[in-house]
Amino acid sequence: MEEKIMFDNPNIGILGLGHVGLPTALGLADIGWNVIGADDLKSKAQDIANGDAPFYEPGLSEMLIKNINSGRFSVASSVEEAIDASDVIFVCVGTPQNDDGSADLSQIENAGRTIAQNSNTNKLVVEKSTTPVSTSLRIKDTLRRYAKENVEFEVAVNPEFLREGTGLYDFFNPDRIVLGVESEAAKNTLLQIYLPLLAQTNPSDISDKEIYEAKSNDKFVITDVNTAELIKHASNSFLATKISFINLVADICEKSGSDVSKVAKGMGLDPRIGSSFLQAGLGFGGYCLPKDIKAFTKIGEDLGVDMSFFREVDNVNIRRVDQIIDKLKGKLWVLRDKTIAVWGIAFKPGTDDIRESPAMALIEKLIEEEVKLNLHDPKAMEEFKRTSLSEYSNIEYFTDPIDSSNNVDAIIIATDWPEFKSVDYKNIKDAMQYPFVLDARNLLNPVEMLDIGFDYIGVGRYS
């Protein structure tokens, strides 16, 4: 049974080697494909070519070195070189947020134009960045506008579902692979690319029959390009909604003397709901959820849909930081000149990414209150030092959380790094000016903390 595909055993290019592009490139190389990556930031590209990962992600450095050494992954000296060497090009560039909440698609447009102007052979261009619905159609127009004579392009959508901190795990253990395509040839080419991941076989061993049968594999969601784009935005907006929902439940729990952790457990056992993203606390952050829910809201509003529901989901999240400040003031009264240890700067454990981190918003509020800050994060300290907030004079940095607690008036756990669970809190208590822990991530056991002698406050939990 012969299945029409665009390219047999294609060379794969990855444009953009950030938190999406680099794990994707290394994952595809690790399952047997020849992958060439490129990034507009030449210093970053050179570091990657030298085997130096540009950000922290568990296992990333080891996999980078492994696939460079195997020869399956290389970094081009320019974007143009990567385009010329590739049959299938995954576009993994940034789509940052405009002031009105919409996605800035200038990098996407530039990638499309650059691909068209530097392609001498036909290409399949795969939109992997998170983009508003109908973006792929605009990419297609751009490719046609700037294409050389007798060069043809097809555009597909393959949204990423990689979580920072578990990006490589997510690549190798996908819960779904969404393929938005306009032709059988594009579909079969992408099925061919991903089959070694699911079948645990080499690319050269994939048969036409296996490509045909893959269409019935429930891991694949095969649809049109617009639907594929909406799947990603709708997914992230729903996850953001779950977090804001449980945070509102936490507020009810605090007023009624209930425990949100037990409410969340009781809810999560229902398979229709599930336990993920039901952790009350400081709120969601990072590069994806805050940006995507705003973009999804703007998409709907531009189409004439009332999106006030999602605007309030975002507003609930924004208010979480102020509520933590109110808790702190409720215990310490005047914050000025108090010394506060903040544990955690990254938006989540397992990464050094501080973009849109609730911890960063919290630190900014504390700076406004003129407190003295002792900061600790297992991975994100250097990233913080590159920001304007680091210019505040009353900041000290600590590589050890225990050292940061000496003579402080409070500890705030702002990121739920698992390392914070194993700290010797008995020794910390005696070293503090006042033994108060504000657990903004509900990481610790409140009963144990009270037994040690701490004044402990979580989110939506009774003591």
Q: Which two tokens stand for residue 454?
A: 């701490």
Catalytic residue among 288, 293, 371, 449: 288
What are phi and psi for residue 319, nearest 5 degrees? -75, -15
Residue 274 token pair: 């599930």
Q: Are 332 and 436 in contact (CB under 8 A)?
A: yes
Would you call 123 helix, strand, or coil by DSSP? strand
397 vs 385: CA distance, rounded Å: 9
Supply 77's token pair: 């000296």
Cβ contacts of residue 236 below 8 Å, gap of 6+? 130, 288, 289, 292, 293, 296
DSSP state of 458: -
| Residue from 130, 231, 195, 166 nearest 23 by CA | 166
For residue 420, the 8-state DSSP code is G
Q: Say which amino acid occupies 294.
A: K
Distance in angstroms (rounded) separating the CA atoms of residues 116 and 132: 21
Whether residue 253 lies in the annotated active site: no
Burial class (CB in 10 A: 0-12, 13-18, 19+), 177: buried
The two tokens of residue 155 are 């555009």
Alpha-carbon span 14 to 431, nearest angstrom: 51
Contact 281, 246 (CB under 8 A): no
Length, in residues, of the chain: 463
Compute the distance between CA of residue 126 and CA of residue 16 in angstroms, rounded to an integer.
13
- Half-sphere exposure of residue 13: CA atoms within 13 angstroms, side-chain side: 27
End-to-end CA distance of the chain: 66
**Side chain identity at residue 148, one-letter code:** K
Kindly provide the b/e burial profile for residues 12-27, where b requires at least 16 CB atoms within 10 angstroms of the residue's own CB. bbbbbbbbbbbbbbbb
Beta-sheet pairing, 73-75 with 35-38: parallel
Residue 223's DSSP bridge partners are: 180
Q: Residue 336: which of 390, 361, 373 has the closest Cα? A: 373
Q: So which residues are the catalytic ones?
A: 288
